Amino acid sequence: MSDDRVDFASMLASRLCHDLLSPVGAFANGLELLADEKDPEMRARCIELLEQSARTSANKLKFFRLAFGSAGGFGELVPADEAKSAIQGIIGDRAITLNWMIGTDPLPKPAVKIILNLSLLLVDALVRGGRLDVGCENQAGGGIEIALHVEAERIFLDAEVERILAEGEGASPMTSRTAPAVLVQAVARQSEGTVMLARETPTSLLVGAVLKGR
pLDDT 10s digits, 104-113: 999 999 999 9
Give buried/exposed letters for 136-175 (b at 16+ CB in 10 A, else e).
beeeeeebbebbbbbbbeebebbebbbbbbeebbebbebe
Q: Is 124 exposed, middle or buried (0-12, 13-18, 19+ CB in 10 A)?
A: middle
DSSP state of 203: T
What is the tens place of the pLDDT at every residue in 42-66? 778 878 888 887 888 888 888 988 8
* Cα separation, 118 vs 90, whole angstroms: 12
- Could you give the 3-state DSSP secondary structure of residue 36? helix
The structural domains of the chain, with segments of one domain joined by +, span 2-211
What is the tens place of the pLDDT at every residue in 172-183? 888 888 999 999
Could you give the count of Cα atoms lying within 13 Å of 39 in the half-sphere of its Cβ?
A: 5
Q: Is 23:56 a contact under the CB 8 Å cutoff? A: yes
**pTM, full prediction:** 0.86
CATH architecture designation of domain 2-211: 2-Layer Sandwich (3.30)
